[in-house]
Amino acid sequence: MDPTLILVLTTLIKIVTFTFMLTLPMVAYSVYAERRVSAIIQDRVGPNRTGIPLTLFGFKKDLHFSGLLQPLADGLKFFLKEEHTPSHVRKFFFWIAPVLTIVPALLTLCVVPFGSSITVFGEQVKLVIADIDVGPLFVFAIASLSVYGITLAGWSSNNKFSFFGGVRSCAQMISYEIALGLSVIPVLMVFGQLNLSDIVQSQADGGWTLLPLWNEHGSVFDADYWKNSGGQWLLMIPLFISFIVFTISIFAETNRMPFDLPECETELVGGYHTEYSAMKFALFFMGEYAAMIVGSALIVTLFFGGWSIGFGLDAHVADWAFGGLVHLVAFLTKVIAFIIFFIWVRWTLPRFRYDQLMKLGWVVFFELALVNIFLTAGIMMLVN
């Protein structure tokens, strides 16, 4: 077959599969997971009985599948609810704001490598929608657009509390974006490139960023490693710092729990989405969870080897025609683990006060990330 045709077809299939068949269900089910995991942490049960209502059709018992059909019921409810647009809002911006929050979150997915590669009609197809050489930059450029959605939602609602929520969110996201951008630079320096697929590939070959247990010099448990790698392990220090800064910034960027000030219901009556109802509200909700999934995917890609299984198994798996799918499963497992981590943090840490949040962003993390870059550079100079 014509390689161009294969490229177009596979790209279309990848877009449909990764965005609509993988990520959107994951969004729905991360809401379910959030409810279930938070319930378990708080000694409750959570939604556990929405299933197939067989008793409606005259059967003895309902099938409940531990409530796994809850997201479907939630979605149906959102579609059937009354869509209400208050008369005092700026209609155009009011309608476009929810779209502006969810689209960037889904767009950033296109540079995240889901798996290594599979062979279709003799052509190697990389399991990433767009294999571009500016991966992280693209992600930051697009992800920062979601602040427009939230700010516009707050402003166009024509409601003081919503506006306040929108402005707060804007200030928060900007203050963490700088730390987010700076904290990745050490990683990019170590790998020397901006292509996310290649970054993951080199992690598969030489050990994950935060877990370099296998590499060209052999295992860490091997005495040769300590002799030959020339103090490479020192790089773990700045990489760990950048992991911490990056993760916390992602929490702030996705408006997740310790930093969910934009929607602080005690002060802001719900924040920027107070005036939204039904599916428009659901889009904000989905945007937030999609951002969480993209955030987890980024953390996994940059620090935990992306689709790599590790322990030197990747080379064997890559030999199979559909070995990429094994990698896909490995990647999803890691992402799900991180989503559960996000939920775990949400039900552990109390909300930050707003001035503490700004101080953390501007005074602590900005400086820390900046110093970290110099630290990395110094160590890299020493090592080579």
Partner 1 sequence: MAIIKVTRPKLTLLEKLYFPSIVKGMFVTFKHAIRSLRGKSLGADSLNSSGLGVTMQYPEQKWDDHLPEHYRGVPALVTDEQDRERCVSCQLCEFICPPKAITIIPGEIESDDPWAKVEKRPKEFDIDMTRCIYCGMCEEVCPEQAIFLRKDYAMTGLSRADMVNDKERLYEIGGVRTGLVNKWNEIK
Give least dist CB 260 to partner 1, A. 16
Identify the CA nearest to 116 among candidates 255, 266, 316.
316
Tell me the window of 272-280, 298-306, 309-317, 343-351 that interacts with partner 1 (CB under 8 A): 343-351
Site map for partner 1, 288-327, x if CB under 8 A?
Answer: ----------------------------------------
344 lies in the binding site for partner 1 (CB under 8 A):
yes
Kindly tell me which of 44 and 88 has the beta carbon lying closer to partner 1: 44
16 lies in the binding site for partner 1 (CB under 8 A):
no
Binding to partner 1 (CB under 8 A): which residues in 29-58? 37, 39-45, 48
How many other C-beta atoms lie within 10 A of the C-beta of residue 270?
16
Kindly tell me which of 64 and 90 has the beta carbon lying closer to partner 1: 64
Site map for partner 1, 348-377, x if CB under 8 A?
Answer: xx----------------------------
Give least dist CB 223 to partner 1, A. 32
Site map for partner 1, 224-263, x if CB under 8 A?
Answer: ----------------------------------------
337 lies in the binding site for partner 1 (CB under 8 A):
no
Cα four-point dihedral sign 19, 22, 25, 31: negative
Kindly tell me which of 226 and 240 has the beta carbon lying closer to partner 1: 240
- Interface residue with partner 1, options 167, 318, 345, 358 (CB under 8 A): 345
Give least dist CB 40 to partner 1, A. 5
Interface with partner 1 (CB under 8 A): 37, 39-45, 48, 344-345, 347-349
